[in-house]
Amino acid sequence: MQRKHTLFALAALAAVATTGLVTGCASRPTPADLDAQALAMIKASFRDQGIAKVDRLNQDLGQAACSADKPPSDDVALRVEAEALASIRWPAGGQYIGDWREGEKLAQNGRGMTWTDSSAAPSANGAQCYNCHQIGKQEISFGTIGPSLYNYGKMRGVKDVADPDSAPIVQYTWGKLWNSKAYAACSNMPRFGHARLLDEQQLRHLMALLLDPKSPVNQ
Amino acid sequence: MADPMRIRAQVAGDKATVRVLMSHEMETGLRKDAAGKAIPAWYIQEVSAKLNGKSVLTAEWGASVSKNPFLQFSVRGAKLGDKVAVTWKDNKGDTRTDEATVS
Amino acid sequence: MLNRRKMLSHSAQVATLLAGVGLLPRGAQAAYNAPAFEIKTMAELAKSLGGGTPTESKDVALTGPDIAENGAVVPIGVSTTLPGVKKLLLLVEKNPSVLSAMFDVTDAVDANFSTRVKMGQSSNVYAVALMADGKVLFAQKEVKVTLGGCGG
Amino acid sequence: MKPFSWIVTALALAVSVGAPAQQKSAADGIAEYRRMLEDGNPAELFEAKGEDLWKTARGPKKATLQRCDLGLGPGVVKGAWVQMPRWFADTQRVQDLESRLLTCMETLQGFDAAEIAKTGFDKGEQATLAALAAWISAESRGQKLALPQAHAEEKRFFELGKRAFFFRGGPMDFSCASCHGEAGKRIRLQDLPDLTKNPGDGIGFAAWPAYRVSSGEMWSMQRRLNDCYRQQRFPYPGFASDVTIALGVYMGVNAQGAKSIAPALKR
């Protein structure tokens, strides 16, 4: 019900957006007008398909703040980062590390959450890592949107993940995977934990891939 | 009824280089559709070429030749205005012949 | 250059391939040689041995990319300058059916053909020349197939 | 070509060196692969089909599309593609090639445009649209993108498209800009053009429609955008919806002056 009404409202708005000229606003619209028209146009242009519903267009603070060709103001960025940091759920029983072999499989897997995927459950999702990062040296087909993660743990001096000296980097890495926006408001990296893309066990496997001295990433 | 081929035959010295694009699914029979049932094999098995009606090439293909196949070969002694005809036949018995003029 | 052991192992592979394909001296078939295209695995091929030992030859040329951006379309060319070649073949070692294409060479065409093949994974690709005198010559190269796009 | 020297080089690079050299060899390998495919783009098959469909009397009205106005006057095809999307007075809309073809198929041939827009890609009249787009874009091959920006609505759609381009949403927080807002980036091994400026001749907007070797299908820009949004994890963009047309204006105007190589060959 509720949603139907808003949809009608949006459709009306969209009509205005697309026939702006006819309805006589031939004078240049202001940036604020255009923002509103763009939003209405976007909402009116998409429809539900499979697991991908139109509510995916409802932006939270961070998404809205990072939707321009310029970064948000510092105070907005700080608010986004503070909210993100507060959202991080630390692993049950302080158990951070899983199996790097499983982590590699997840890192290779770029599937999940599209309208052609049947389930939105974490078990149906990959971690997408190689799309944007170099990780294991043997995989030459890697992206460069994110930094190389080859030797991630080694370069940060992680010799034993259980060693208290390793705690800061271990926790930072978990936080980055859970909600990347905690450390950069407009990071391009998905919020794997916060957005329920991956579950704790899957995140543990990725942690192992990056930090376990036995992982090929750190050889 | 299958779509026409694209055949280009260009003279280079005493021969003509022939480039052929064929419109065909080249379905291996190993893939499954959305419903999970196997898509039956459907692919070109035999390809032949004639220069002015005289056979110059025969070839046999498997299902691992790419969809919308490309073939390049050179016909000796072909001259401007000669006719190059290419024929394919698939595993369903469907066949198609197209002709191009050497330019 | 490949060392001798590698040479021999390649020769052996190609021998088993061709034996399975039934293309060694037993002569050429007129109709579509379905069995030749039904070979599923190297192991299957290994069962049926026979025929002359293929030798790697610089006179047979195989053109193809080192890396294929997409395994659905891999451009491959086979050619030889040797006289007396009867057939030119394209084989992809790790495909479900190893034989991709087989060209009869006549005096009316150059022994030089290019086409495009599907590759399920990175694999060795062989260009094989069957000579009139029964000799079997080949060239080979590895083509890496990369995972593209978003893997989705 | 000497196969063995290739292998030796490849092996040497593979075993010896670190990331930089390996990336280089991979990039070179991909470049070599693309060169080998340049000759004989299966898009030609669709161009031929599209030209035929343009000239064949079809639809309830048994008419051809030869009087369709793509912006340069009824029946003028050459050069039309590099000036779209653009404002059309008769429909009072900014339209891209596909939405304009829908208009012509409805008015001239009597097809139901809404029905076609609802049809899945590659099915029924959607396959017709893809073939038509292949031929029409080919008729502008080598010409420079020159989208008009004189009309207020064309300017407005540029602004709307820019906003849509940077709009973040979905479970992975992606926008078009996540992948196409910066030069020199890759997903896996695929180079990502920076679509906020002119990425160069035959790159990005100037390369579509294109034949996709991965699916063996002819993709129009509408289909390309549809798959971008799928990978962005967004809901489903309506065919020829305003957001897709506005994005076309934004990318096309940014790429102003780039030579079109459409229909290109893509992974």
Q: Which of A39, A48, A190 sits opposite D172 (nearest CB)?
A: A190
Tell me the mean pLDDT in the region D18-45: 77
- Look up the CATH number of domain D43-266: 1.10.760.10
Whole-Å CA distances, D64 to D53, D101, D115, D220:
8, 12, 19, 21
With a cut of 0.85, is the ipTM above it?
Answer: no
Residue B75 exposed, middle or buried by CB count within 10 Å (0-12, 13-18, 19+): buried
Kindly report which listed range (C47-56, C123-132, D119-128, D229-238) carries the lowest average pLDDT score. C47-56
Q: What domains can you pick out in chain C, each with its CATH number? A: 4-145 (2.60.40.2470)
Mutation target vs B (from C106, C107, C125; most B CBs, 10 A cutoff): C106
Determine contact: D246 vs chain A, CB below 8 A. Answer: yes
Q: Which of C97, C109, C114 sits opposite B64 (nearest CB)?
A: C97
pLDDT at site A2? 43
Q: What domains can you pick out in chain B, each with its CATH number? A: 6-101 (2.60.40.10)
pLDDT at site C14? 61
Does the distance separating the beta carbons of B57 and C108 come in below 8 Å?
yes
Kindly report which listed range (C20-24, C93-97, D12-16) carries the lowest average pLDDT score. D12-16
Q: Which of D45, D213, D216 sits opposite B3 (nearest CB)?
A: D45
Q: Say what percent of chain B tops pLDDT 90.
A: 91
Would you call D176 a catalytic residue per the annotation?
no
Chains that touch B (3 or more CB pairs under 8 A): C, D
pLDDT at site B2? 86
Helix (H, G, I), strand (E, B) or coil at A48: coil
Chain D residues within 8 A of B19 when measuring between CB atoms: 39-40
pLDDT at site D34? 85
Residue D185 exposed, middle or buried by CB count within 10 Å (0-12, 13-18, 19+): buried
Domain ranges of chain D: 43-266
Chain C residues within 8 A of B61 when measuring between CB atoms: 100-102
**Residues in chain A where the model's pLDDT stays below 50:** 1-25
Which residue did the predictor score with more confidence, C80 or C28? C80
Q: At what angle do helices A31-45 and D242-254 cross, to 10 degrees?
A: 130
Chain D residues within 8 A of C65 when measuring between CB atoms: 29, 32-33, 36
Mutation target vs A (from D96, D163, D178; most A CBs, 10 A cutoff): D163
Q: Report the 3 state secondary structure along chain B.
A: CCCCCEEEEEEECCEEEEEEECCCCCECCCCECCCCCECCCECEEEEEEEECCEEEEEEEECCCECCCCEEEEEEECCCCCCEEEEEEEECCCCEEEEEEECC
Find out whether C80 and C137 touch, Cβ atoms under 8 Å: yes
Q: Which of C67, C146, C150 sits opposite A131 (nearest CB)?
A: C150
Can you give the pTM of this predicted structure? 0.86
Six-digit token pair at A65? 């703040």
D11-29: b or e for each residue (b if 16 or more CB lie within 10 Å)? eebbeeeeeeebbebbeeb
Whole-Å CA distances, D78 to A78, D87, D150, D258, D259:
53, 18, 21, 17, 14
pLDDT at site D158? 98
Report the candidate in B91, D155, D90 with the shortest Cα–Cα distance to residue A27: D155
Cα-only R_g, chain C: 15
Q: What domains can you pick out in chain A, each with its CATH number? A: 86-218 (1.10.760.10)
pLDDT at site A21? 46
Residue A16 phi, psi (nearest 5): -60, -45
Measured CA to CA, the distance from residue D241 to residue D167 in angstroms comes to: 16
Taking only the tens place, the pLDDT of each residue in C26-79 is: 333 457 877 778 866 433 433 332 345 778 899 999 999 999 988 999 999 999
Does the distance separating the beta carbons of C67 and D29 come in below 8 Å?
yes
pLDDT at site D35? 87
Q: How many residues does chain D have?
A: 267
Kindly report which listed range (B20-34, C56-70, D10-24, D191-205) carries the lowest average pLDDT score. D10-24
Tell me the mean pLDDT in the region D117-121: 96
Taking only the tens place, the pLDDT of each residue in D203-217 is: 999 999 999 988 899
pLDDT at site A22? 45
Does the distance separating the beta carbons of C146 and A130 come in below 8 Å?
no
Mutation target vs A (from C67, C144, C150; most A CBs, 10 A cutoff): C150
Residue D229 phi, psi (nearest 5): -65, -30
Q: Say what percent of chain C tops pLDDT 70.
A: 67
